[in-house]
Amino acid sequence: MNNNHGFVGILVANRNQRKYVLQQYLQTNKTNMKLFCFTPHSINWKNKSIVGLHRSNRKWALSKFPFPQVVYNRCYDTHQELIERLETLIGKDKCFNRINQFNKHEVHTNLSRWLFDYLPVTVPFDKENALHLLEVHKVLYFKPVYGHKGKGVYRVEMKNSGEIHIGLYYFAPKIILKDSKPFDETIQKLIGSTPYIIQKGVHIRQLNNKIFDIRALVQKNDKGLWSVTNVVSRIAHKGSYNTSICEKACLSVEVLKRLYPPDKVNAIIQSIYNLSLRSAEIMEENKIHHLGEFSVDFALDNDDHIWIIELNGKPQKDLYDRIRNQFAVYKRPIQYAQYLHTHTDPYR
């Protein structure tokens, strides 16, 4: 199949994801590049071809494509050997979001050099040190180093009585320990051999007794430059601290307007923009990532201080389907793909 304007291949984890993912980007593709969606198993390395799903004559079709000029990686936890092998054929730095499963501790270490005042204390899990940290900070979150969507995140609180409450997704405890003696063994059993971090708990500002976060989507645009596409909030279900399984998603301005006067809202949003773009600059220092997009999750505490909770290398796109007029979420990655096809990224 020939295309004088080039191809963009969108890499996804499995065949079931192809149609849903591709149709989102097709709706907003104003470039002259042809899009198709493929999986790691659809690559024929010997013949240098890929079987991909695409739209042809208003129908879905599977066709054999040459290797694309640019690959947009939407496959979580992609093996780097696959990305490197692709780039030996399509060209160096022609695949973006090479790494989209971030190591939370590495990200925290990188950001803390410049943004220390906006980061909660975060350390690798150490059974010997966990109880001491809990005694100091009273509320801790135990998170998988490579976790996403809030899976496996435990909230641990030490009460004034000395009781230790351990919750999963909800503030209401799943486990109550009468004292600290069995804590080490209990938390180790919950975590198992999975690498975890410990993060100091932030007393998050609430809206109608519900936790909300502030998520900035940072994407490269058609000039290859970082920009903030939007800032949205996920409002958790009542009694839950996990905003990934939220009750509602909306523009953050809508939430903040219910808590603050207009000038305060503008100041918070401007700070979010500045911190997000600074995070992008810092992440860009690691050339191996070659990011085209990621999201930054923030929280406000009861003193209105902004905290960077974590970064996500594969932003949850269906979140934006619930919010009107968010077409740029899908448009910008393809614009950046076209930019990579015709330019050399100035940050590379």
For position 193, which CATH number holds?
A: 3.30.1490
For residue range 265-307, list pLDDT tens digits in order: 999 999 999 999 999 999 999 877 899 999 999 999 999 999 9
Residues 253 and 325 grouped into a single domain: yes
170 and 210 belong to one structural domain = no
**Are 131 and 236 found together in one domain?**
no
In 3D, which of 337, 258, 298 has the Cα closest to residue 119? 298
313 shares a domain with 184? no
The domain total for the chain is 3
CATH of the domain at 70: 3.40.50
Question: Strands, E, within the chain: which ranges?
Answer: 7-11, 34-38, 43-44, 49-56, 59-66, 70-73, 95-96, 122-124, 139-144, 154-158, 164-168, 175-177, 196-200, 206-207, 210-211, 214-220, 226-236, 246-251, 293-300, 306-312
pLDDT (0 to 100) of residue 347: 47
Give the CATH number for residue 271: 3.30.470.20
Judge if 74 and 214 occupy the same domain: no
The answer to whether position 1 is within a domain reads no
Say what percent of the chain tops pLDDT 70: 97
pLDDT at residue 2 greater than cutoff 60: no
Q: pTM for the complete prediction?
A: 0.93
Dist CA 13 CA 73 (whole Å): 9
In this structure, is residue 347 part of a structural domain?
no
Same structural domain, 185 and 240: no
Given a cut of 80, whether residue 239 has pLDDT beyond it is yes
**Residues 247, 108 share a domain:** yes
Summarised one tens digit per residue, pLDDT across range 72-118 is 999 987 688 999 999 999 998 999 999 889 999 999 999 999 999 99
Query: Domain span at residue 165?
Result: 122-200
**In this structure, are 323 and 239 located in the same domain?**
yes
Q: Are residues 114 and 150 in the same domain?
A: no
